[in-house]
Amino acid sequence: MRREGSPWQGLGTVLLKELTDHFDSARMVLLALLMVLAAAVPFYSAVEQLRTTTSEDPFLLLKLFNPGQTLSVMQILAFVLPVMAIGLGFDAVNGEHNRRTLSRILAQPIYRDALLAGKFLAAITVLAINLICLWLLVVGFGVYFLGVPPSGDEFTRSLVFLAVAIAYAGVWLGLAMLLSVLFRSPATAALLALGVWLFMTLLWPLIAPFIAQRIAPPDIRYLLLGLQDPQTFAWEQALTRISPDVLFQEAARTVLTPTTQSLGPLLDQIRQLRGEVIGAALPLRESLLIAWPQAVGLIAGAIVLFVATYVAFQRQEVRA
Amino acid sequence: MSEPVITARGLTKRYGEAVVVDTLDFDILKGETFGLLGPNGAGKTTTILMMLGLTEVSGGAVVVAGYDPVRQPLEVKRRVGYLPDLVGFYDHMTAVENLAYTARLMGLGHDVREVRIVDALARVRLTDVAHNRVATFSRGMRQRLGLAELIVKRAEIAILDEPTSGLDPQSTHEFLDMIGELKREGVTILITSHLLDQVQRLCDRVALFRSGKILVMGTVGELARQVLGAGFVVDVEAAAAPGKELAARLGAIAGVLNVQQTAEATYRLTADHDVRAEAARAVVAADGALTRLSVDNPSLDAIYTRFFEKQAATEGEIRDAA
């Protein structure tokens, strides 16, 4: 049975209202402050570090995002973005339920699609605006402090990094919104979302190797030589990549560090055999190709979570 | 005879095994005020949500304002205003902002919106607090703001779910007056409640609803005859002259079914029509001193209580027989 009328009716209205709400809310101010402050420290240390090596490095701007050794803006984002996304999404739907506004809003001539999509897009827009501001700050201050204009290549790479970061935030936003549909209490949804995030970020990278060794026990010959069994390693890598955090870090590192050749040891060996030089900078296209699967994984994760949210929301009873 | 705007045929809602709404059949006519009365959990809200396409219909069909809410919910929702029980608003927004948001969702243009909102707030007497945050509003004010939303929408059909529950008597009175105004404008109103005496004033027809079924339906007078056996209760307060038996004389009046002596000099007559004139004549004929004479319209409360008592009794009998 087909329903009639556009699912997008009212989308713009919901989007605008949610945006206004976000920008007015104290939560938003707090999160933005958190992001800027958190990024300021690594940015400062990166500048300090770079001032000493200016003459040698062709990718100064990128080093601002990811200087390599110390805590970087990229790592901070990997940490702060999920918190922001969860903060914006954890009470999206159950909040409407608890305020008893849901049935009143859905009694207006709109479909549920518009409400859900509007909320998702508004939160993503807010995150994107924050990220763009951060990006402008880093690039602007970078030029100011270092006095070296960025090249077109660097510019593109940092913009790609921005896009990957937005996709990464989208995954956590999707998760938070899904939980906000499934659980009537915002506190439960928030705690669970943060729990999943901590598990994926801190525990999963520790657990994955154990599981990998169970699935593909390493060959004793490799162990005797002090090497890692490639098969075990392949499993380990595949398992850790379930975590959006790992995907984001891999993709971001590839894009921000042109010298990153590949994300697995096997490819490195093949390249070496083909006589390529390890350690040289890759052209942008090659870097993008390497980061592509990770980026697509993040986007797909966000979409899958949104679809799950959509299905759960459509089936949910409106009455409190 | 005006045409029906809401027609339900065999409307059913099941959650798994449980039947919440059980093959409802009813018509609500244009311009009519229809009361859906029943205890909590009878399935009233579920019925409403099915009419709005907000919950799936398990069986049967309902047509609202000429549209099928299952397939054309937007058309239905464009014409129907819904005031949920315990209506909620965005507390951090003002009354005007809240209305403007829903007005935008209704698809109203900027100019129309402005005019209608000002007008609606004036009608529900919230003009003074139009720019206050809703967080500061009392329960009664929120309820009136909900009504303002229906006015902004220019709804052809207004569905009010327990609109007066939790209101103090003063607010209830005001609110019912406002609903009365809507009614005079020709809006079809469907109202659910368990506060019967309030609804009685407003409703043209009522349906008693329990366990997902409509048990009886009709005007209050019809229901009274059907359930109580008679519609009118006349109280007579009269001191009879010594030696004259008043109760018997009152009982002899045509149409009086029952006489009850409730106190020393008060009698309660149950009759199938208004027998005040005859009662007065009877008292005077008996040389009595008539001090008070009043008629109660059939009370929905009495009908309701009696009906469900009867219902329970028959169910008991059936159980006993089985």
Tell me: do B144 and B33 sit in the same domain: yes
- CA–CA dist B173, A78 (Å, integer): 58
Tell me: do B271 and B165 sit in the same domain: no
* Whether B81 and A107 lie within 8 Å, measured CB to CB: yes
* Whether A13 and B80 lie within 8 Å, measured CB to CB: no
Q: What is the largest CA-CA distance in chain B?
A: 79
Tell me: do B122 and B151 sit in the same domain: yes
Q: Is B305 a domain residue?
A: no
Tell me: do B208 and B236 sit in the same domain: no
pLDDT of residue A263: 63
CB A79 within 8 A of CB A202: no
Q: What b-and-e string marks burial along A145-180, b requiring 16 or more CB atoms within 10 Å of the CB?
A: bbeeebeebbeebbebbbbbbbbbbbbbbbbbbbbb
Give per-residue pLDDT as tens, B86-127: 899 999 999 999 999 999 999 999 999 999 999 999 999 999
Q: Is B237 a domain residue?
A: yes
Q: Is B243 a domain residue?
A: yes
- CA–CA dist B253, B239 (Å, integer): 18
* Whether A104 and B82 lie within 8 Å, measured CB to CB: yes
* Whether A110 and B74 lie within 8 Å, measured CB to CB: yes
Domain boundary among B165, B183, B218: B218
Q: Is B50 a domain residue?
A: yes
pLDDT of residue A264: 61
Tell me: do B248 and B208 sit in the same domain: no
One-letter amino acid identity for B204?
Answer: D
Give domain limits for chain A: 11-315
pLDDT of residue B289: 83
pLDDT at B2 over 90: no
Mean pLDDT (chain B) is 87
pLDDT at B187 over 90: yes
DSSP state of B133: B
Q: Is B308 a domain residue?
A: no
pLDDT of residue A111: 93
pLDDT at A269 over 70: no
Taking CA–CA distances from B160, the nearest residue in chain A reads A104
Mean pLDDT of A34-58: 75
Going by pLDDT thresholds of 50, 70 and 90, the confidence category of residue B320 is low
pLDDT of residue A70: 65
What order of strands is seen across the sheet that includes strand B59-64?
Answer: B18-29, B4-15, B59-64
Distance from CA of B212 to the nearest CA of A (A): 17
Tell me: do B168 and B243 sit in the same domain: no
CB B34 within 8 A of CB B191: yes
What order of strands is seen across the sheet that includes strand B266-271?
Answer: B256-263, B266-271, B232-239, B289-296
Task: Choose from A105-119, A226-240, B157-171 the range with maximum mean pLDDT.
Answer: A105-119
User: Contacts of residue B70 in chain A, CB cutoff 8 Å?
Assistant: 1, 3
Domain count, chain B: 2
Tell me: do B68 and B191 sit in the same domain: yes
Give per-residue pLDDT as tens, A94-119: 999 999 999 999 999 999 999 999 99
* Whether B149 and A104 lie within 8 Å, measured CB to CB: yes
- CA–CA dist A298, A248 (Å, integer): 7
Distance from CA of A309 to the nearest CA of B (A): 18
Mean pLDDT of B225-237: 75
Going by pLDDT thresholds of 50, 70 and 90, the confidence category of residue A55 is low
Distance from CA of B44 to the nearest CA of A (A): 12
Mean pLDDT of B298-318: 75
Tell me: do B209 and B242 sit in the same domain: no
Q: Is B156 a domain residue?
A: yes
Distance from CA of A100 to the nearest CA of B (A): 4
Closest by Cβ to A108, choosing from B84, B91, B106: B106
Mean pLDDT of A25-35: 85
pLDDT at B314 over 80: no
Distance from CA of A105 to the nearest CA of B (A): 7
Which structural domain, as residue segments, surrounds residue B271?
Answer: 232-296
Across chain A, the runs of DSSP E, i.e. the strands, are: none
pTM: 0.86
Q: Does A109 touch chain B (CB under 8 A)?
A: yes
Residues 6+ apart with CB under 8 A from B198: B164, B172, B176
Nearest to A236 by CA among A257, A267, A206, A256: A206
Going by pLDDT thresholds of 50, 70 and 90, the confidence category of residue A228 is confident
Q: Please report, rounded to a whole number, the percentage of residues in chain B having pLDDT higher than 70.
A: 95
One-letter amino acid identity for B256?
Answer: V
Nearest to A235 by CA among A252, A217, A257, A261: A217
Tell me: do B276 and B205 sit in the same domain: no
User: Contacts of residue B78 in chain A, CB cutoff 8 Å?
Assistant: 109
Q: Does A85 touch chain B (CB under 8 A)?
A: no
Nearest to A102 by CA among A316, A310, A309: A316
* Whether A104 and B91 lie within 8 Å, measured CB to CB: no
pLDDT of residue A128: 94
pLDDT of residue A279: 62
Task: Choose from A168-182, B3-17, B242-256, B285-299 the range with maximum mean pLDDT.
Answer: A168-182
- CA–CA dist B94, B100 (Å, integer): 10
Tell me: do B139 and B40 sit in the same domain: yes
Mean pLDDT of B8-16: 92
Q: Is B153 a domain residue?
A: yes
Phi-psi region of B36 (alpha: psi -120 to 50; beta: other; left: phi over 0): beta
Tell me: do B151 and B245 sit in the same domain: no
- CA–CA dist A21, A35 (Å, integer): 19
User: Contacts of residue B86 in chain A, CB cutoff 8 Å?
Assistant: 100, 320
Mean pLDDT (chain A) is 86
Q: Is B223 a domain residue?
A: no
CATH code, B28? 3.40.50.300
Give per-residue pLDDT as tens, A289-320: 888 999 999 999 999 999 999 999 999 988 75
Q: What is the dihedral of CA B126, B129, B132, B133, to 10 degrees?
A: -30
Going by pLDDT thresholds of 50, 70 and 90, the confidence category of residue B229 is low
Q: Does A21 touch chain B (CB under 8 A)?
A: yes
Tell me: do B137 and B237 sit in the same domain: no
CATH code, B252? 3.30.70.100
Mean pLDDT of A152-172: 93
Question: Which of helix, strand or coil describes residue A318?
Answer: coil
Question: With a cut of 0.95, is the ipTM above it?
Answer: no
User: Contacts of residue B95 in chain A, CB cutoff 8 Å?
Assistant: none
